[in-house]
Amino acid sequence: SGTKIKVDLDSSTGIAVMRLQSPPVNSLSLDFLTEFAINMEKLEMDKSCRGLVITSALPKIFSAGLDILEMYGKSPEHCGEFWKAVQEMWLKLYSSNMVTIAAVNGSSPAGGCLMALACDYRIMAENPRYGIGLNETQLGIVAPFWFKDTMANTVGHRTTELALQLGLLYSAPDALRIGLVDQLVPEDQVVSTAMETMAKWFAIPDHARQITKSMMRKPTIDKMVSNREFDINNFVSFITRDSIQKFFRMYMESLRKRKA
Ligand code: CO8
């Protein structure tokens, strides 16, 4: 198994804790996403696992979203393969039979936010410096329809319309206010609160909860699955444009300069 994600399953409690540990920022690279899919498949098949907590092993960052280096200077074939892996991450998480709780202990822009949104419940560290949101438009790119649907299913149409057009990155308190996260707790209590919350979800018979979850999410999942090829082609043709590639180069440079 890989090294970007560490999974600890406690068979006595039925809870697996998945720790994202891909420095510096837990960006969703192809390797990361492949490891994620393998881990999800294993846990999903393991009858002793009923719940999954996802958190970051890195300080201050849950996940920086998609790895920009997978979309910059890469062949259309590579971009297509990468996007398929992004789709797969969302599909596995959004349709999981497990109770999934995101323990968001740091910033979580764009694809990082999508990962949290695909869970059943989100607990975030109360630090106002941590940002979460689908801020794609700020990068001159467009969150695909299933990102948008997942957000709208969580916070409603109007809030999503504002958030997506303006590319808003919400501070933890603002994220709670709009319902993008469900609960804020002190940073050192994010994972322990997730474990306590799990007990409440485990009190519900699995089959009833799973059927209900599927009823709520199936239309969104079906829509993505039936448009999967279109979505890949759309991504590849957009991301390989000269103007977008040029923007990514400048963006990576600006991230670097900010630090210097
Ligand atoms: N991909 C690759 N590398 C990254 C990324 C990323 N997403 N984010 C940061 N890095 C790199 C930085 O370049 C830097 O590298 P280096 O050390 O070589 O200079 C290193 O990680 C550390 O970054 P910072 O110094 O910026 O670390 P900070 O702790 O100061 O800040 C943040 C962390 C807040 C995560 C900050 O790095 C940031 O804002 N990163 C950008 C995040 C971002 O914009 N992600 C969006 C990616 S797009 C996406 O997820 C959805 C796209 C949907 C596509 C639809 C198209 C059709």
Ligand 1 centroid, distance to 203 Cα (angstroms): 39
Is residue 228 domain-resident? no
Residue 212 lies in a domain: no
Question: Which among 228, 214, 216 is positioned nearest to 86, based on CA atoms?
Answer: 228
The answer to whether position 244 is within a domain reads: no
Please report which residue ranges of the chain form alpha helices under DSSP H.
30-45, 76-94, 111-117, 145-155, 157-166, 172-178, 190-202, 206-226, 228-239, 242-259
Q: Please report whether residue 221 resides in a domain.
A: no
Range of the domain at 53: 5-202
User: What single letter denotes the amino acid at residue 147?
Assistant: F
Binding site membership of 58 for ligand 1 (Cβ less than 6 Å): no
Interface predicted TM-score of the whole assembly (ipTM), two decimals: 0.97
pLDDT tens per residue, the chain (260 residues)? 579 999 999 999 999 999 999 999 999 999 999 999 999 999 999 999 999 999 999 999 999 999 999 999 999 999 999 999 999 999 999 999 999 999 999 999 999 999 999 999 999 999 999 999 999 999 989 999 999 999 999 999 999 999 999 999 999 999 999 999 999 999 999 999 999 999 999 999 999 999 999 999 999 999 999 999 999 999 999 999 999 999 999 999 998 888 76
**Domain tally for the chain?**
1
Does 124 reside within a domain?
yes
Q: Which residues pair with 109 in a beta bridge?
A: 133
Q: Is 150:117 a contact under the CB 8 Å cutoff?
A: yes
Q: Is the CB of 109 under 6 A from ligand 1?
A: yes
In a domain, 12, yes or no: yes
Nearest atom in ligand 1 to 110's CA:
50
Examine residue 198 and state whether it is found in any structural domain, yes or no.
Answer: yes
Atom of ligand 1 nearest to the CA of 238: 57
> Which residues, 6+ apart, have CB-to-CB distance to 256 below 8 Å?
none
Q: Which CATH number belongs to the domain containing residue 158 in this structure?
A: 3.90.226.10
Classify residue 234: in a domain, yes or no.
no
Active site residue: 66, 114, 134, 164, which one?
66
